[in-house]
Amino acid sequence: MKEKLHCPRCKNKKIIDYGDTFDCPLCNLEFEKKDFELFDDESDILAIEEKVEIVKVLKTNSEKKNEHTNRILD
């Protein structure tokens, strides 16, 4: 059994439970509970806010790549 949920960043245990996710009021970050099962090292766990940023970057990169491919095809 895992220890009580806590913030992977500041180790704060006074988190706000949303069911599938929880919020750390100190870091102002939201984490997904399933990530604690996925990662052995909790420093690998990303906040939802950070995941959104990564998705944005990946999307921008793949759009750039598509632009480039389209230019070659023209």
Q: Are 24 and 10 in contact (CB under 8 A)?
A: yes
Shortest gap between Cβ of 48 and Zn ion (angstroms)?
13
Q: Which is nearer to Zn ion, 44 or 63 (CB)?
A: 44
Q: Which is nearer to Zn ion, 7 or 22 (CB)?
A: 7
Integer Cα distance of 48 and 30 in angstroms: 6
* Residues sharing a CB contact under 8 Å with residue 22, sequence separation 6 or more, in sequence order: 5, 15, 16, 30, 31, 33
The contact set with Zn ion (CB under 5 A) reads 7, 9-10, 12, 24, 26-27
Q: Which is nearer to Zn ion, 22 or 24 (CB)?
A: 24
Shortest gap between Cβ of 21 and Zn ion (angstroms)?
14
